[in-house]
Amino acid sequence: CHLPRDMRSWGWAIQLAITRSSRSWGIGDLADLRELCEWSSSVGAGFVAVGPLGSPNPGPDPEPSPYYPSTRRFGNPLHVRVEEVPGADALGADLARLAAEARRLNAPRRIDRASVLRHKMRAFERIWELGVEREAFEAWRRTRGESLERWAIFTVLSERFGPGWATWPAEYRDPAGPAVAAVAAQDAHRVSFHAWLQWCFDLQLAAASVPVRRIADMPVGVDPGGFDAWDWQDQLAIGATVGAPPDRFIARGQDWGLPPFIPHRLREAGYRPFIDTIRAQLRHAGGLRIDHVLGLFRLWWIPAGVDPSRGAYVRSLTDELLEIVALESHRAGAVVIGEDLGTVPAGVRAALRRRRVLSTRLALFELKRPSHYARQAFAAVTTHDLPTIAGIWNGSDLADQAAAGLEPDVAGLSLLRGRLGRAAGVAPNADLDQVTDAIHRRLAAASPVLVAATLEDALRVGERPNIPGTVFPQRDNWSLALPVALEELRTDPRVASVVESLRRS
């Protein structure tokens, strides 16, 4: 994979939805991302790693998890900044009124995606009808091929029949069938509208990716009721899902609800679905994080209706998949990061290392000091699924676990606290500011080519973005916005101290 010899930089790892500014319409958007990247560049950061941006299944109440997308090929319109859509200024005072109403959604920390969607769609539809820059849109549309058209048709069908294509009338479940073609012709204007939304997304994603290297994040799979599953029924095992076998933490195993590719069917298709996914993820990106990179080697398959503990490992076509990743990495000039946490089979890390895929090193999981981490790595303290520094050091994550209906893992959090303190080189009675700055200084001084901090840790936020094993209303996973607006990051002394700790020679 592409990996410049002199690469060595620090940056942020963020979830865009929760990174709001005062101009957001209730959710972080691509203009917010651009502003974050511009500020990050000005203070010396070299990258911003952004959680998945794929669209959820179309519907009135969007799925909050970015790791359960309808598609890994097309973007989430919720992240489009309305005011920066071509033609938006023609709405004049009406746009100002719509924006003022929508910005009230910034008041509570909880992101109300259903309300965000209603406000944004009302504005998008009005702008679309103005027909501004239609020729530029159509020129872009012609470059995007049939997959864009099928996505737009799928979205129109979802509006007509509801989310989840398996529940649609049988004639609409076949993407190549005559009934689907008839809808494309009859509802051509609406199909064009949804293709136009992707143009708006693409314009803003491109602008956000200029100031620093943007590292994209590719989920393990997709919603079985979503677009990619509808479009690739012959290549995906719709009657199965992937997950994890039982371990000492989760005795019955895990079912992630994501259908896997059927290896021999993927090969027969010339790997086109996988190639298209990788290319879409790398569009305008300078890097790619592959979630659960072990999936390129093997996946735990679970037949429909079967307990996760009764699944089995199915080997992937590893060499072919890795070669495709390497080729597309070089084509895009993008580094590749493998999320290789947990129990890793023998030979996996060596295979990734040979192909210059960066390993992931978390201070919370490592027994050795940061100074001993490998150079070919992406290093950080924690991730979106693990407690924050504040949640560990002050113990507040235990209360969050209890509030979410879980049995608080006192021993587990104590273990993480000990590892964090040793990695940071601080005494057990050190305060939160001391441990936060110390661990980031040590990571910055270590060998890994990329070192990341989260905005949650910089702001000393106690809540993590996601507590695995919980869902709404147990907990608002992926829906608790940062407690300060994006503009305030620039002058926040807590953030400034982490930036100073991360600056690398």
How many CA atoms, within 13 angstroms, populate the side-chain half-sphere of residue 118? 9
How far is the first Cα of the chain from the last one, in angstroms, to the nearest whole number?
25
- Predicted local distance difference test score (pLDDT) of residue 249: 66
Are the C-beta atoms of residues 166 and 225 closer than 8 Å to each other? yes
Q: Mind listing the pLDDT tens digit of every residue in the chain (505 residues)?
A: 999 998 999 999 999 999 999 999 999 999 999 999 999 999 999 999 999 999 999 999 999 999 999 999 999 999 999 999 999 999 999 999 999 999 999 999 999 999 999 999 999 999 999 999 999 999 999 999 999 999 999 999 999 999 999 999 999 999 999 999 999 999 999 999 999 999 999 999 999 999 999 999 999 999 999 999 999 999 999 999 999 998 876 778 999 999 999 999 999 999 999 999 999 999 999 999 999 999 999 999 999 999 999 999 999 999 999 999 999 999 999 999 999 998 899 999 999 999 999 999 999 999 999 999 999 999 999 999 999 999 999 999 999 999 999 999 999 999 999 999 999 999 999 999 999 999 999 999 999 999 999 999 999 999 999 999 888 888 999 999 999 999 999 999 999 999 999 996 4
**CA–CA distance, 264 with 273 (Å, rounded to integer):** 13
DSSP 8-state class, residue 22: T
Question: Counting Cβ atoms within 10 Å, is residue 87 exposed (0-12), middle (13-18) or buried (19+)?
Answer: middle
Give the residue from 241, 268, 236 showing the smallest Cα distance to 257. Answer: 241
Whether residue 242 contacts residue 295, with contact meaning beta carbons closer than 8 Å, is answered with: yes
Architecture of domain 9-214+320-331+345-502: Alpha-Beta Barrel (3.20)
Q: Which residue has the tokens 């994501």?
A: 258
Q: What whole-number distance in Å separates Cα of residue 464 and Cα of residue 456?
A: 8
Residue 285 CB contacts under 8 Å (≥ 6 apart), including other chains: 209, 214, 215, 216, 332, 334
Largest CA distance in the chain: 69
What are the residue ranges spanned by the domains of the chain?
A: 9-214+320-331+345-502, 232-319+332-344
The encoded tokens of residue 127 equal 């702008």
Phi, psi of 214, deg, nearest 5: -95, 125
Look up residue 30 and give its two tokens.
């691509």
Q: Does residue 72 contact residue 279 with C-beta atoms inside 8 Å?
A: no
- The whole-angstrom separation of Cα 209 and Cα 201 is 12
3-state secondary structure 273-306: HHHHHHHHHHCCCCEEEECCHHHHCEEEEEECCC
Around 28, how many Cα atoms within 13 Å sit in the side-chain half-sphere?
30
The pLDDT of residue 252: 85
Find residue 314's DSSP bridge partners. 299
List the one residue out of 378, 362, 376, 377 whose CA is nearest residue 423. Answer: 362
